[in-house]
Structure 1
């Protein structure tokens, strides 16, 4: 009798939580500075979620330590659905990059669904002699030990793409980390560094303006955006299987009631079909996720697979942070 009463109360409580949630604004923690690609995704998503979720969504930027400070804040937040995390591929690479991570990626969060994928482009300084990827490959081979590869800092999208590029080519380059994409791009434009691999959200404008040399995209299929449609993929250029996209997902603290998780997931699926959200994301070069990874269980399986993919690459590079 006692167990039956407890089970009944649990069902009633869950139903009550679903009926009442949300009663106040929801905070989306973005673990990076305002104005960056992840911040833009969060602000677009917040607008698309507002109606299906029936709540005001507030963006809180908690930058630092490659996104781990913001992720830690959400992992330790009250599991009531009012504090969620919007994070990119760093959710899967941080376990390999940081020795003293303050949370367990697969254990300390509820997975709410994948949002989008952002392709990347391989670009070079405007004075680089190579005008195609084939010419670039020859130039890189002829200049082993002399090539400067820029990135936006440890754990950044450009850092990860650079690691995979070097690993695939078996060509160690001089990695030049910056505090963000803007200074890295400025030095690329000025010719202080040679190449960089970064998100289309950061490179498309420079490619359109002809300020950098564009060599390839990192997806297995060519992109359709006008400025990028003529670029080959690295896969078709000879780096078979090369595929890097910077994805974004939504997370809640572990222990958030299932009724709340399900309601946010349902609202997310509606938001991902919003025409305005699609237009804004397309303008950033992002592709909305429409497959099973929008489901909570599949989202978690995907992140686990990404952890297994990037862990060995990071370990081989020996690039860690405390």
Structure 2
């Protein structure tokens, strides 16, 4: 039997961007609450809120979650950040997003007529906490150092991808690995490379190497040759999880709209009707290679990078 606590701990250890994105999205969702208090239940049931509960150990009943106050939420987020400071400060982009979310929330709360002094105080404490942590983070890396870090992160991500994880299918592991790369130094290196012709060759070679390494691991994990075909139903089954924390993690990492498989991952794990995919231009059969190419389009999100084809 899969243990929820140990599985969530392993997910956070292997894919730290899950923790970071859950916190950022959780804070940003407060601005929605401030604008539309009648949507509180919808926000409370979001993947970021549920996964934040899983990772913080606060997986209380849904009706209790809906009764939380802004004050208690902000205090809890502040305490969680302080408790996990050493781990969270490693990603300066994450800290920037936290600050942006807190600043946005501050503005929204000023517009709410019934805001309380306790909320203001909690928000200010959270802001001070994040500012203090952010001041200890190195803000910039030069390009060469970023490139070295990106390659190191790629190798670490591949080593995690190659491990056996009973709570994840090979296809789910591939997706979480690619999102880890996108949110980490590898993704920052891709963005820094941009459209520079001088960097395009290195980018193309690096992505090609990544593809080849992933294909070796996928073939071993799935027991299929990389050009062996599977049908849609088989792929659907490999992308959906029956384990609630994994469902929430997959949904949390599938809101980029970078490719159709990503949208499918979100729909499958959030119980959305699959009818929208039946008449789409998705192929009826897939291979390890085609799955990788579709998922890896995330790494070109918003940038004109060399493709992996």
TM-score grouping bracket, smaller chain normalisation: under 0.3
Higher relative contact order (CA 8 A, sep 6+): 1
Q: TM (normalized to structure 1)?
A: 0.22
Q: Which has the higher helix share?
A: 2
Q: Which has the higher strand share?
A: 1
Q: TM (normalized to structure 2)?
A: 0.22
